[in-house]
Structures are given as structure tokens and as C-alpha cells.
Amino acid sequence: MNVARILIIEDEASMLTGLVDSFTMSGYEVITATDGRSGLELACLTKLNLIILDIMLPKLDGFSLCERLRMEKIDVPIIMLTAKGREEDKVQGLELGADDYVTKPFSIRELLARVKAVLRRSRRETEEIETYSFADVIIDFKAHCVTKGGETVNLAPLEFEVLRLLIKHKGETLSRERFLTEVWGYDRFPSTRTVDTHILNLRRKLEDNPNNTRYIKTVHGVGYRFDENPSTD
């Protein structure tokens, strides 16, 4: 696995030294900047996995830096260092596109844990499939659009997510509970019949013959499975 490269932008010398030591010891590759402008330059020119960004910085503050990066479509994850008791800083940081924050003074263990979590999340996102096609159906997961035989198919948002889950785990039988957990989430409790309804709609919209489905298969007593290469019977 590649070593993650982290840019730390912090103007306080002792804080910076402490961070560099801790992250280097934890196996990260670390580069640093001590003011906002050079930090922005480094962030634009270097391939990074994550940025740790102080808010109060000379030349360009952390908020403006974060905003500029997102405007340039540089979507490297950012963890902001906010001052204790400045609740509004957290909100502003997250609104400007930061991924997480820690409050000063923080424990280095907490920061390391958050870095790990954010890196894990961003890795998973880049591994997501972008497009997929079967028969005459083309799915663009990024644009959220589906066509069949060149015609746009209108899918409800949850139908789209059910389809995404089926294709992500193609060839694997998924239980109705699995759909409920991953698509509807823990905080809502629709019945498993809801899953059946969404599957039915997907078949009606995407399969050539909804009464004799080839791709979206029922596995009796278990759930559903997407067959990538259905037999031609």
C-alpha cells in the first residue's frame, strides 16, 4: 500500500514540530507550510492524500484557503484545527468544504484517529464504480442517470440506490434486511415489502421482460441478486 502524504499548514513552530514528529512516526509522509499562501501553492502543485489546516494563519487564513481549494476543484480531504470554544469556526469550516475538525488543544491520538477515518472514507469513495452497463442499459453513477436503449429512464432516488447496491455486489445474494440497512439506513424502519416494491419497479423499468427477469433475480427465501452474465434460456 502507498504511504499517505499529508500537508500540515500551521504557523506555530512548536505545534508544527510536534505534529510532524507524530505523523512521521506513524508512517505518514509529511510536508509542511507555515503560512496560508505557500500552503495553498503546495496544495495545488502536490499530490496529497490529506491536509491538516490551521485557521489562524499569516497571509491567507484557513477558511479562505479551504474555499480556494474547493473552488479549484481540488477535493483532497481537509481536517481543520479550530480554537476551543469557537463553535462557529467548526460550522464555517465544514460549510467551506472541510471534512472534519479537531479543537485545540487536542490529543495527538485523537487527531491521528480522525486522519485515519477520513483517509479510509476518501479511499472508499475513489474506489466507487462510476459507470456500469448491461444489456442495453447504461448507468452513470456519478451523474445519477440511467438510459435503456438510448432513452432516459427515470429512477426514484431510492431505486437508484437499490440498483447501486445490487451492482456493487453483483453475483452475490443480498437479503432484504441488507437493503434496508444500506439504502434506507438505521434510523428508518420501512418493512421488507418496501424493498420488494423497489425491486419490482427496477425490473419494470430496466428489464426487457419484467415477468421473466434475466438480471435482477429473486433468490427465494433469501433476497435478490444481480446476475452479470445471465444464461440465455
- Applying CB under 5 A, the residues found at the interface with Ca ion are 11, 54, 56
Angle at 97 between CA 81 and CA 126, to 5 degrees: 105
Going by C-alpha positions, the residue among 215, 219, 213 that lies closest to residue 228 is 215
How far, rounded to the nearest angstrom, does the alpha carbon of residue 33 sit from its chain's CA centroid? 27
Q: How far is the CB of 97 from Ca ion (least distance, A)?
A: 20
Q: How far is the CB of 54 from Ca ion (least distance, A)?
A: 4
Nearer to Ca ion, 59 or 169 (CB): 59
Q: Minimal CB distance to Ca ion: which residue?
A: 56
CA pair distance 80, 177, nearest whole angstrom: 37
Nearer to Ca ion, 59 or 148 (CB): 59
Q: How far is the CB of 19 from Ca ion (least distance, A)?
A: 12
Nearer to Ca ion, 33 or 155 (CB): 33
Neighbours of 89 (CB within 10 A): 21
Residue 19, C-alpha cell as written in the block:
505534529
Q: How far is the CB of 108 from Ca ion (least distance, A)?
A: 17
* Parallel/antiparallel/unpaired status of strands 223-226 and 216-219: antiparallel
Nearer to Ca ion, 58 or 149 (CB): 58
CA pair distance 95, 33, nearest whole angstrom: 23
